[in-house]
Chain A
Amino acid sequence: MSDDQLQSRLGALIYDAAPESTASVQLRSHYGLYVDGVFRDGAENQHFVTINPATEETLASVTQASAHDVDLAVRAARRAYDDVWSTMPGAERAKYLFRVARLIQERARELAVVETLDNGKPIRESRDVDIPLAAAHFFYYAGWADKLDFAGFGPAPKPLGVAGQIIPWNFPLMMAAWKLAPALAAGNTCVLKPAETTPLTALLLAEIFEQAELPAGVVNILTGDGSVGAAIVDHPGIDKIAFTGSTEVGRQIQRHVAGSSKHLTLELGGKGANIVFDDAPLDEVVEGIIDGIFFNQGHVCCAGSRLLVQETIEDELLRRLTRRVEQLRVGDPLDKNTDVGAINSAAQLARVEEITASGELEGATRFSSSCPLPEKGFWFAPTIFSNVSQSQRVAREEIFGPVLSVLNFRTPDEAVAKANNTTYGLACGVWSEKGSRTMWVAERLRAGVVWANTYNRFDPASPFGGVRQSGFGREGGRQGLEAYLDV
């Protein structure tokens, strides 16, 4: 059978819809702010709605926090820090965090469904990646809470105080866990601001903190737009800012805290290079490239958005890649068969559309999947640009969507030079059967994470974070504690 015949047969396979049940989910119609251990209305009584990006239906009304609410939350966090959390033995802090981890596991199905509803990501990903990793982070850092002496920062390292934590919409609960778990393990208290478009799982996490009887004020959760983040960054009662988001906002935050004694860690954008040598096994490479760029609709700061392929195999790899992309199932995020879900917001969709239009204008060759897209909601067909040159916007700027740019190289030196030809430095992939060459390349890549013959792997034990304008500080691993210790 020829490849084309095979493709037409595979393409004809019809999948019955297999939607995940939403029966486990009972959202409240309105959520307050979680401050000092209780849900309460905002001081200015302002609300906004959070919608399902796959249907544009309203999920719940959420409170817009004000500067006054930020102040209340910081004061609550300070009291909790002084009176309870910083003086509690590490073994006792650990028990709360273990309990939180267990409760996340017990409510995993509900959390996965809510994450998919609020974010638009496929249920397969929220169920198998986001939620289990969130629980695992709490388990991992729970174990550190009473072992800080062994973490390599000297004896009895002290926490920083009150941490202000601002997280993005691409992995809402997982980002909350990445921020909160190490901060709490180290003895800090927290004011967390989830993203405007994805506040719900953070609010469910607040319910879990109540269930775990976490002392009031240890974690405070404020929902709202960017003004809340700005008020947190500027609040004089905060000792540490941890931010995950765009490089542009990260730059503003660094400027804002420049005149203060606040500690800062930033996990920012990226333009990850996925480097494929001609000896790599192509079937695995194709799956790895797909995972690298279309996982979570490409809303991944470490996405492998630049494919660097050795010239001798470029045509063959592109042929296989486009065939595979054509088979990706795009649609209802709650369907367990779905590979690519909804773009998180209208604003993000507009950004992706704008920069892909520039790719065509600048002369790159565009291929987009012919998959049907739902009429309601925010959707973008998986797209590949080939014949891309390094100066084009699609090769330089973070698109944060399901768009891959393909460039080529001849020698390992050229691969390294092109991979490093960016202002970012978050993550790269290397595909080759030659271990020594992979190591050689990895040593020369200016990136915080290098995946060899895999991509987009995350684990609480593994430090994650960027170099250059992808930010500084690490999340995960022993190194992740440093961001929350006064060392």
Chain B
Amino acid sequence: MNGAFVRSESGRSYEIVDASGTFVANVARASRKDVRDAVVAARAAQAKWWAATAYNRGQVLYRLAEMAESRRDELRDHVALAEASEAVAAVARAIDRVVWYAGWTDKIAQVYGSTNPVAGPFFNFSHPTPSGVVAVLAHPTSFEGLIDQVMAPLAAGNTVVVVASERHPTPAVLLGELSVTADFPPGVLNVLTGSLDELAPVVCAHEDVDGVDLSGVDDALLGELRSLSAESIKRVVRAGFASDADSLRRLRTFIETTTVWHTVGQ
């Protein structure tokens, strides 16, 4: 949270175990207050993240891929807790995905922006801007899914609060560590661990969260979270994880279009 590794303000933690039931680690169990603190950090960081050049954001994301590459084995061990047989390939695909998004930062405006030939003496153009603070309810098992959910809003200039997978939170925690070594400005990426049932409604009801990625939650929770999100008119996405089109749907959800009219005349 905000570039630091803090315990829950509540002092709570919980145990996670592997498939055989063996103890793996104690992790912090975030509270409602921790959600609020994370959103404050994300909001404070957003203007700076967006004010950085798109090239610079791309460099930071590419640096993250390099950091992940250098800790590939450690990532594999954590990912293996959730994706036992696929861990090596899953990590490789996830790193490729970070690289893919690193290349998007300075192309989003070129693909989704436009100049508009309005019928009058105006120079009129539309350019994509970020929604702001995006909450991500992480995919419960897929590391690649988590990466896609986090990178899409970041590439577009949003800052992110992740609620990690409740049973398999350590890959998300490791992602937080990697982001610090990759020179993410503090607050750009914040990772909370804890009970999804407890945290998801708080996140979706939070007035200062602009968008939420619900791709990681069960159908059972979906209706309630969507209606909580409606209160502050959040941008909500629930996309698949199969293709570039899914990823771009995720990315487009968290960009706004700003159109500028500028007079033309002597």
Contact = CB atoms under 8 A, between A and B. Distances in A.
Interface of A: 91, 94-95, 98, 102, 136, 139-140, 142-147, 149-152, 412-413, 435-437, 439-440, 443, 459-461, 477-478
Nearest to A411: B266
Contact of A436 (B54, B62, B262): B262
B263 A439 contact: yes
A150 B55 CA distance: 19
Given A91-B100, A136-B55, 15 more contacts: A91-B99, A95-B99, A139-B58, A143-B102, A143-B107, A144-B107, A145-B103, A146-B100, A150-B111, A151-B111, A413-B266, A435-B263, A436-B262, A436-B263, A461-B54
Contact of B62 (A139, A413, A477): A139
B123 interface: yes
Contact of B110 (A95, A149, A477): A477
B interface secondary structure, majority: helix
Contacts of B62: 98, 139
* A145, A147, A460: most-surrounded residue (chain B CB, <10 A): A147
Contacts of A144: 103, 107
5 contacts: A143-B103, A413-B266, A437-B266, A439-B264, A461-B54
Contacts of A139: 55, 58-59, 62
Contacts, number: 71
Range for the number of chain B residues in contact with chain A:
20 to 34
Q: For B62, B100, B110, B244, which residue has the most chain A Cβ atoms within 10 angstroms?
A: B110
Main secondary structure of the interface of A (DSSP, over half): helix
B265 interface: yes
B55 A439 contact: no
B104 interface: yes
Contact of B106 (A95, A146, A436, A461): A461
A102 B264 CA distance: 42
A94 B106 contact: no
Interface string B48-72: 0000001100110010001000000
B99 A94 contact: yes
Given A139-B58, A477-B110, A440 B103 contact: no
B265 A437 contact: yes
B177 interface: no
B55, B106, B248 — most chain A CB neighbours (10 Å): B106
A286 B105 CA distance: 35
B103 A439 contact: no
B96 interface: yes
A469 to B, nearest CB: 26
A150 B247 CA distance: 13
Interface in B218-266: 244, 248, 262-266
Contacts of B244: 149
